[in-house]
Structure 1
């Protein structure tokens, strides 16, 4: 894994940045080996602890794929006991992406299959170019989506559509994926990374305290009964109402200037 920092336009680099989390195993099309999973989990833990990170973008150095999922060549040589020992490592990687406290954007081109698509699903937003092919084909090799796919996919497209996609193991091309809501933004060929970073910078221009609280309310409230969801929203509001960001935002609005978010 590689982590790159991008200063937010118009701000002091010390005020915060966009993090680019790079899947960097191009010869294997970023197949998730145990080593890659460990590296990803560690990188996510570091980003989660860094209050200066405003948005994280997950990208790939492979020209052919975002990520093709689990490294089946590695797994082919594992005993049952060894396979079981890899499970917490894999879960830590996928959970690490899912639980990042700042907004996350996946930049997808080429294959995003199995665990690769689950990494994208763990992000808040998915940007894809026309070369993207997504899917959860795990049942075709005798397993099931174990990186969050059975839970995250129905939250995107509904239970019946998720069942069809998972049970048939079919691969979905970019145009259809956009129509089904499997990806959020379909961009021109070869621009997925640039467009994902541009989207991240638009998000990062806003209050980091407000944006993180909004993500928390969205994640915790989804699927709750309305009254419970509104209580979650109220709790999130209370965390930002007396923050430095709120004071700066109101002052900047009244003074007709760009805000300088303190991030607290």
Structure 2
């Protein structure tokens, strides 16, 4: 993973084990509130992680029992003091969110504790959200005088629908796991243990399947969901052809015929 590996002292810790990258927001004293520097680092990590050989999935989580309390409001007076500064700040945060959303690999948010505001947005940018008994998710923009932009609102809308999106934004409250499951803010819940343990188990299960198949499915489904399938038809056709010509396609057929588990390599 080269430059993506990091030390426990950093504000974002990146580790790799068994083909699964774990990205940990690491400011537990602030419930992992994201600073401007952290938004920039997240964009770098997620823009590059999908290009690394042998990586099958990415788990995003937080240290110390909370996923992320959102943007670090304590620095707003210096980095987001007026509309011009706010526009520049949002551009950086949006780059991070888009990098998570557009990562070619399966992305899983392991949401223990609070995932609020920008933290909820990061979870929504992932493919899946797994919670546990401690999970609390919401967007308190209405309590801070903030209007959420199109990117974050689109992620919320695609996940929970219009009425629930309005409920989340108008109320500004934190919803428990049961409410999150009902609305679709959380897709799955840990049956026992933590959200992180469940996320790693889910990622390991996904990792048994053909990486090109999963990447292709993500490409097609996201294009359909955003209404860009026609514009991206050429890109989609190329990827379908790449999968058909891959060693994994041959391996899948051979494993099926031999009635054995396939050994996919991502090529």
Would you say same fold, with TM above 0.5?
A: yes
Q: What is the distance in 1 between the residues matched to 2:115 and 2:135?
A: 7
The 2-side partners of 1:187 and 1:168 are apart by 27
Q: Which residue of 2 aligns with 1:76?
A: 77
Asked whether the equivalents of residues 54 and 265 of structure 2 are also in contact (C-alpha less than 8 Å), the reply is: no
3-state SS of the aligned residue for 1:57? strand
In the TM superposition, what is the alpha-carbon distance from 1:91 to its structure 2 partner?
1.7
Could you tell me which runs of 5 or more consecutive residues in structure 2 were left unpaired when the two chains were aligned: 1-11
Gaps of 5+ in 1: 8-16
Q: CA deviation at 1:149?
A: 2.6
Which aligned pairs between 1:103-142 and structure 2 lie closer than 5 A? 103-142=106-145
Q: Go from structure 1 to structure 2 and tell me whether the alpha carbon gap of 1:103 and 1:143 turns closer, same or farther (over 3 Å shift).
A: same
SS at match of 1:195: helix
The answer to whether the 8 A contact 1:220-1:232 is kept is no
**For residues 15-94 of structure 1, what are the structure 2 equivalents within 5 Å?**
17-63=19-65, 65-78=66-79, 79-80=81-82, 81-94=84-97
RMSD: 2.3
Conservation of the 8 A alpha-carbon contact between 1:5 and 1:20? yes
Cα pair distance change 1:84/1:222, threshold 3 Å: closer
Task: Please tell me whether residue 5 in structure 1 is matched to residue 16 in structure 2.
Answer: yes
- Is the partner of 2:56 in helix, strand or coil? strand
> How far is the alpha carbon of 1:260 from its aligned partner?
1.9
List structure 1 segments (4+ residues) > 4 angstroms apart after TM superposition: 231-234
Counterpart CA distance in 1 for 2:165 and 2:87 is 27
Match runs of 1:77-226 below 5 Å: 77-78=78-79, 79-80=81-82, 81-146=84-149, 148-188=151-191, 190-222=193-225, 224=227
- Taking structure 1 as the reference length, the TM-score comes to 0.88
Cα distance, 1:223 vs structure 2? 5.1
Deviation at 1:87, TM superposition (A): 2.8
**What is residue 254 of structure 1 aligned with on the other side?**
257
C-alpha distance in structure 1 between counterparts of 2:141 and 2:242, whole Å: 41
> How far does the alpha carbon of each residue in 1:218-260 deviate from its partner, in whole angstroms, 9 at most, with x for none?
11112549x959x689735333222221111111111222222
Secondary structure in structure 2 of the residue aligned to 1:66: coil
Q: Distance in 1 between matches of 2:151 and 2:27?
A: 22
Corresponding residue for residue 4 of structure 2:
none
